[in-house]
Amino acid sequence: MADINFDNHPQFFTATILQWKPLLKDDEYKDIIINSLLHLKKAGSIKVYAFVIMPNHIHLLWQIQDGHKNVQLRLLKFTAQQFKFRLKDTGNTFLKTFEVNAKDRQYQFWERNALSVDLWTPPVFMQKLDYIHNNPIQEKWHLAELPEGYKYSSAKFYHTGDDEFHLLDHYNG
């Protein structure tokens, strides 16, 4: 873990779809998140060390790069817009379940209090990495038999070296 600068702390980030609705069950919505992360990475805003996109929430191990502000807000706002556009374009009635009575928005897709925890030490980083990779194989989800078998996770990258989405930075450089 020598290549991670723990002075500019990596973070464990979790965001949940409003009321735990399974919006992300469909791959096209997972792809919106992947594409948003790729955009942030290409702009030099983030390094992504690990991720998993579950049916109703996401977990990331990422590091926001110096000088980049409001990255979490930008990610959540942009993905919410894209979810809305996709649901409208396809005439999906699921959109109605995200309507809110708020002055600043008609729809809300993400719960308001995303979790972001600075990771101060390599052992805590590794504990979160294991948690993320084992999330899809938990009995309540059972999305894969093995962590590396779940497509929308970084587990395969750490098992085989294959980064299908061209998104990840290995924590060991």
Q: Is 95 contained in some domain? A: yes
Q: Scanning the structure block, which residue is given the tokens 């594409």?
A: 35
Using 50, 70 and 90 to split pLDDT, how confident is the model at 41? very high
For residue range 117-154, what is the model confidence (pLDDT) as tens digits? 999 999 999 999 999 999 999 999 999 999 999 999 99
E strands of the chain, at which residues? 11-16, 46-53, 57-64, 115-118
| Number of separate domains in the chain | 1
- Mean pLDDT of all residues in 80-96: 96
Boundaries of domain holding 131: 11-160
Banded pLDDT at 7 (limits 50, 70, 90): low
| 166 domain-assigned | no
| Confidence at residue 27, expressed as pLDDT on a 0 to 100 scale | 98
In a domain, 63, yes or no: yes
Half-sphere exposure of 130 (CA within 13 A, CB side): 6
Residue 119 is part of a domain; what is its CATH number? 3.30.70.1290
Q: Residue 65 falls within a domain, yes or no?
A: yes
Name the token pair of 169.
């930075």
**Residue 5 belongs to some domain of the structure:** no
- Read off the pTM: 0.94
Residue 2 resides in a domain: no
11-32 as b/e, with b when 16 or more CB fall inside 10 Å?
A: bbbbbbbbeeeebbeeeebbeb
Confidence band of 3 (pLDDT split at 50, 70, 90) = low
Has residue 138 been placed in a domain? yes
Instruction: Judge whether 70 lies within some domain.
Output: yes
